[in-house]
Amino acid sequence: MRPIRHRRLTAVVALATVLVTAAPPTAAGADDSGNRRAGYHRVGYFTQWGIYGRAFPVRKLDTSGAASRLTHVNYAFGNVSEDGRCFVDGGPGEGDAWADYQRPVPAQESVDGVADAWGEPLNGNFGQLAKLKAKHPGLQVLISLGGWSWSTYFSNAARTDASRKAFVASCIDLYLKGNLPVLDGGSGGPGAAAGVFDGIDLDWEWPNWPGEPGNVVRPEDRRNFTELVAEFRRQLDAYGRTTRRHHPLTAFLPANPAAMDAGYEGREIFRYLDFAAVQGYDFHGGWDPVTNQQSALRVPSGAPDDPDFSAEVAIDGWLARGAPREKLVLGIPYYGRGWTGVSGSGNGLFQPATGPAPATFEAGYEDYRQLKTLAGNGFTVHRDLRAGHAWLFDGTTFWTYDDPAVVLQKTLYIRRAGLAGAMVWSLDGDDDNATLTKTIGLGLATP
Positions marked catalytic: 205
User: Can you tell me the distance from the alpha carbon of 172 to that of 39, in angstroms, rounded to the nearest whole number?
Assistant: 28
On whether the CB atoms of residues 426 and 367 are closer than 8 A, the answer is no
Amino acid at 55: A
* DSSP-H helix ranges across 335-424: 368-371, 404-417
Q: 324: how many CB neighbours lie within 10 A of its CB?
A: 16
What does the DSSP 8-state code read for residue 432? T
User: Can you spell out the DSSP letters for 218-275?
Assistant: -TTHHHHHHHHHHHHHHHHHHHHHHHTS---EEEEE-S-HHHHHHH--HHHHTTT-SE
User: Can you tell me the distance from the alpha carbon of 247 to that of 142, in angstroms, rounded to the nearest whole number?
Assistant: 9
Nearest to 153 by CA among 201, 218, 99, 83: 83
User: Can you tell me the distance from the alpha carbon of 284 to that of 353, in angstroms, rounded to the nearest whole number?
Assistant: 13
Element holding 319 (H helix, E strand): helix 311-320
The β-bridge partners of 45 are: 74
Angle at 133 between CA 129 and CA 139, to 5 degrees: 110
User: Can you tell me the distance from the alpha carbon of 189 to that of 192, in angstroms, rounded to the nearest whole number?
Assistant: 5
Integer CA distances (angstroms), 419 to 263, 312, 315, 397, 412, in order: 22, 12, 9, 35, 10
DSSP E strand stretches across 358-443: 365-367, 380-384, 389-393, 398-401, 421-425
- How many Cα atoms within 13 Å fall on the side-chain side of residue 410? 36
User: Which contacts of 317-320 are long-range, i.e. CB under 8 A and separated by 24 or more positions?
Assistant: 317/255, 317/257, 317/260, 318/253, 318/260, 318/266, 318/276, 318/278, 319/27, 319/28, 320/27
Q: 370: how many CB neighbours lie within 10 A of its CB?
A: 17
Element holding 41 (H helix, E strand): strand 41-47
Integer CA distances (angstroms), 314 to 205, 283, 435, in order: 16, 10, 26
